[in-house]
Amino acid sequence: MSGKQAISLKRRIVLVHPRGSNWLKGNRDVISAANRMIPHGILSIAAWLEKNGHQVFIHDCLGPGASLEFQNNINEIVEYKADIVGFSATTSSFPDAARMAAAVKKFRPDLVTVCGGVHCSALGASLLKDYPAFDFMIKGEGEITFEELARGGNPVDIKGLVWRNGAEVVENTPREMIPDLDILPFPAYEKLKGFPKGYNLPLFSYAKFPGTSMVTSRGCLFQCSYCDRSVFKKGFRYNSAKYIYDHLKYLNQRFGVRHVNIYDDLFTTDEKRIVELCDLLTKNPIDMQFNCALRVGFAPDSLLKMLKDAGCLMVSLGIESADPELLKKHKAGVTVDEVTDTVKRIQAAGLRAKGLFMMGLPGETEESIRWTSDFVLSLGLDDMNMAKFTPFPGAPLWKTIREEGTFEEDWEQMNCLNFVFVPKTIGSRELLDQLYNEHVKRFYTSKAWLQKFQKRIWQHRHSLWHIIKNLPDLLAAKSQFEPKNKMS
């Protein structure tokens, strides 16, 4: 694959979703018991590769029934007798991907190893220099770059590729973004063992079962300080309304899916497309509900009503904090008053409102955490998610993060579930963890939330059954949110 002449080849390829580190340091990894997501990136790449004649297998180390033993996974990957093994890695799963690449190379030194994903896209050539078990890395969108490499293209000519020319590591010209996402086939869901029932959505986020998730756009028009845009860059590209409708119908008719979480950053940015999609879903209903996310300023009442009529159950809203100064610094264009108004209008349209927050941003204080905790309760949200701020190499904050506080650059723990960064305005990591635990528990034990939950308990019977089946793991997770002291 490094020769001067390109030879068109049809390859046997394994795409691997590494297990990585997905829970709290020093504790058993139980995250998949509450939410096992499909690996969107490699499903899309697999579908594109197969469309171009390659034979593709997917090995999901986080999938249902996957072995917890490292060597068992290596043995299974080697048994595919592939020509190429590709890994898709986040920052926290990259070390695991690197260990796996080194292990498969011991069995098959001739095996070509490729790694892509957000971590590779952010660090590029510097990363390939330090990890010799990888032959190639891909920066940016992977579909076209991977396929050109797989069919025997000369590495010199492949945009978006990072490769070795002898002892030198070369980073090629960036790959242009795919302008029309409708050219991509639907993701290769059929290659996942147990799909869809082996993959579970977040508890209590759905009323119909089974469910899955999908992505209908790439990129974002905004640049929040904490967000890594290394893969899809700034901008906004999206599938057409007809493509999305056909995609939903395919999931329903082929796999029996009855709920979809749409994980676009800005689902409603192009209002015309959403109006058209809602019109299709209203006139030609599918036995399916969906959740989506939107941003303050992109939620007119008319659109919220259309979403409800089309089958939308819950809308997520990125809020992050109730501190105006933190919002100004990290999420420009969003205000507390606008958030309050948007949540009220979401619920007035008959939709559930989920607030997305982030604790531990640079500049965070005990006072700002208290403001946020009070604000969460005042909003009357139907659900809430609180991420632990994690600095990522491709985010705007990365360059100055060490000036803002204490940062432990432990990639395996950089997963928004551990406080690897402590702002200089917070006394210690232990205090930050304590405040986090109290904040989360305060919401889920509040009278208002419990009353809403009780009214919907029959709708959530599938989630309750899932809890019963996974009770030991979920109790272990719950224990992480037991505060040692009350917030004053």
Confidence (pLDDT) at 16: 98
Confidence (pLDDT) at 266: 84
- For CA atoms 325, 330, 335, 341, the dihedral sign is negative
Judged against a pLDDT cut of 90, whether residue 124 lies above it is answered with yes
% of the chain beyond a pLDDT of 90: 82
Architecture of domain 201-481: Alpha-Beta Horseshoe (3.80)
Q: Tens of pLDDT along 276-298? A: 999 999 999 999 999 999 999 89
Confidence category of residue 464, pLDDT binned at 50, 70, 90: confident
Cβ–Cβ under 8 Å, residues 138 and 115: yes
The token duo for 137 is: 């890395």
Confidence (pLDDT) at 477: 62
Give the start-end residues of each E strand in 61-98: 84-88
Q: What's the whole-number mean pLDDT along residues 444-467? A: 91
Judged against a pLDDT cut of 80, whether residue 302 lies above it is answered with yes
Q: Give 120's contacts (C-beta < 8 A, 6+ positions apart).
A: 89, 94, 127, 137, 138, 139, 162
% of the chain beyond a pLDDT of 70: 92
Confidence category of residue 479, pLDDT binned at 50, 70, 90: low
Mean pLDDT of the chain: 92
Confidence (pLDDT) at 57: 98
Confidence (pLDDT) at 2: 46
Judged against a pLDDT cut of 50, whether residue 5 lies above it is answered with no
- Which pairs with CB-CB distance under 8 Å and at least 24 residues apart come from 37-40? 37/199, 37/213, 38/187, 38/189, 38/192, 38/195, 38/199, 38/212, 38/213, 39/88, 40/187, 40/213, 40/214, 40/215, 40/263
Confidence category of residue 35, pLDDT binned at 50, 70, 90: confident
Cβ–Cβ under 8 Å, residues 159 and 142: no
Confidence (pLDDT) at 21: 77
Confidence (pLDDT) at 487: 46
| Greater model confidence, 308 or 20 | 308
CATH fold for domain 12-171: Rossmann fold (3.40.50)
Confidence category of residue 28, pLDDT binned at 50, 70, 90: low
Among 4-18, 183-197, 351-365, the minimum mean pLDDT is found in 4-18
Q: Cα(259)–Cα(287) distance, rounded to whole angstroms?
A: 9
Confidence (pLDDT) at 97: 97
Kindly list the domain boundaries of the chain, sorted by start residue.
Answer: 12-171, 201-481
Among 204-208, 227-231, 382-386, the minimum mean pLDDT is found in 227-231
The pTM assigned to this predicted structure is: 0.93
Confidence (pLDDT) at 474: 65
Judged against a pLDDT cut of 60, whether residue 4 lies above it is answered with no
- Which pairs with CB-CB distance under 8 Å and at least 24 residues apart come from 463-471? 463/203, 463/204, 463/206, 466/200, 466/203, 467/203, 470/33, 470/34
Q: Cα(146)–Cα(138) distance, rounded to whole angstroms?
A: 8
Judged against a pLDDT cut of 70, whether residue 1 lies above it is answered with no
Judged against a pLDDT cut of 50, whether residue 424 lies above it is answered with yes
